Chains A and B, each alone.
Chain A
Amino acid sequence: MKKIKRRYVMYPAWEYKQEVADMNALSDKGWQLKKGGCFRSVFYWDETARYRYALDYNNHIDDAARYRDTFAEQGWEFLNDTFNGWHFFRKRYDPSLPPEEYEIYTDEQSVQDMASRWSRLGYAFGAVELTLTAVNGLMALRRPSVTGIAITLACLVLGVVILTGAWRIRHPGVASKPRKSLRWCFTTVFSLLGLGLLFGVLRYYQSSASEYVYDPSAPPWTWEMSAPLPDFYTLEAEADTDAVVHITVTDKDGKVLAEMGGGGDLRAKKTLFLLPGRYDVTVQYDEGTEPGASGKFRFEVD
């Protein structure tokens, strides 16, 4: 039974040459590609063989049989293709042959054609990501949450990096110094999406709305409220009164975190970021003013 190795590495499209170089290096060490993928590649162990690999991006092949036959004529063996248009080929390595034997695009025009096929997709995808950034950003402004902010940042990073990559793949020789890999962006994006998802799930299961109705004739009016997650919370207050009302949120050390209030029939709302813990909400009336008939608070994470 063949030894199998699964490699979980993502290469940005514009670093496809690095992916080919890494596959070639693995082949020299005895690990031969069995199936290539965008997120996962499978290798088998065969130290008797050496291959050179080629990656082609072509998402619009009008004649698949002619495409593969054209590669086969020059000794390229088709391995597999991916859902998004990448095709993996390999050829037995013969050290006596010149390096051009292992290139599939050999003139500037065809290299540019391949680059523009991907960059068109990249520019479109980048534009979609920036649109999603704007939409999510507006939603996060209207109703702040860790999930909303994390997803907005993930879309922003992904959009900017993909647009940069689409430009890079079209202009491979423009950089004055070696370009840094942008593989870090995947870690950042997945971390942000993971964070967003985690907080989304936690919010869903721990969503709470605490409503307190108080009696204006029985001061002091202080309530303890709990914040189960580090997230944004909304404090809504209503008071049917002509008096001037002050509402304060303090932590257990007495530090004031938020203040709200006003005169007349109070209808106030405040969003604040709280770490997990317990907090005090205190209502006070200006001296000499009459508390109204009733008041209530709603303190929620939803």
Chain B
Amino acid sequence: MGKSAEPLTESYFYILLCLYDGPSHGYGIMRRTLALSDGHVHIGSGTMYGATGSMMKKGWIEELPTPDADRRRLYRLTEAGRRVLLDEADRLRHLAAAADDIIGGER
């Protein structure tokens, strides 16, 4: 399945985004998400486990083998996941552009 049926949650979006330029483990995804969102989006362990499990089932990401001594789980974006991410980014750009057309820079 390569297409998201509905908009992604922030957690799903950031997990896919963090994997776009290479594999990462859960903690790395969490730290990078925090940085990318200026500290607004924290992905807790329960949320991370559920989201990564669900995205693996959908075939958007896959787990890579790690050395036995390393308990960290390494994930990689699949082609289907890359497509979902790009579609979602496109959708968000359209939303932002529409908002800019009407609202402009007003806060």
Contacts and interface: CB of A to CB of B under 8 A. Distances in A.
Nearest to A106: B44
A73 B72 contact: yes
Given A62-B53, A69-B72, A110 B47 contact: yes
Interface in B27-78: 27, 30, 41-53, 63, 71-73
B4 interface: no
Interface stretch (A97-105, A253-261, A273-281): A97-105
A287 interface: no
Contacts of B10: 107
B26 interface: yes
B105 to A, nearest CB: 28
Interface string B7-18: 001110000000
B82 interface: no
A99 to B, nearest CB: 10
A14 interface: no
A105 B44 contact: yes
A109 interface: yes
Interface in A49-95: 54, 56, 62-63, 66-67, 69-74, 76, 89
B25 interface: yes
Contacts of B30: 73-74
B10 to A, nearest CB: 6
A113 B50 contact: yes
A114 B46 contact: yes
Given A66-B73, A69-B71, A73-B27, A110 B45 contact: no
Interface in A114-137: 114
A71 B26 CA distance: 9
Given A73-B27, A109-B11, A104 B46 contact: yes
Contacts of A63: 53
Contacts of A101: 42
B42 A70 contact: no
Contacts of B46: 54, 56, 71, 104-105, 110, 114
Nearest to A73: B27
A71 B45 contact: yes
A74 B27 contact: yes
A268 to B, nearest CB: 66
Given A100-B42, A106-B42, A106-B43, A70 B9 contact: no
Contacts of A103: 42, 44
B62 to A, nearest CB: 13
A62 B48 CA distance: 14
Given A66-B73, A73-B71, A100-B42, A106 B11 contact: yes
9 contacts: A56-B46, A70-B45, A72-B71, A73-B26, A73-B72, A74-B48, A76-B45, A104-B45, A104-B47
Interface of A: 54, 56, 62-63, 66-67, 69-74, 76, 89, 98, 100-101, 103-110, 113-114
Interface of B: 9-11, 25-27, 30, 41-53, 63, 71-73
Given A69-B73, A70-B73, A73-B30, 10 more contacts: A56-B46, A63-B53, A66-B53, A70-B45, A71-B49, A74-B26, A74-B45, A98-B42, A101-B42, A114-B46
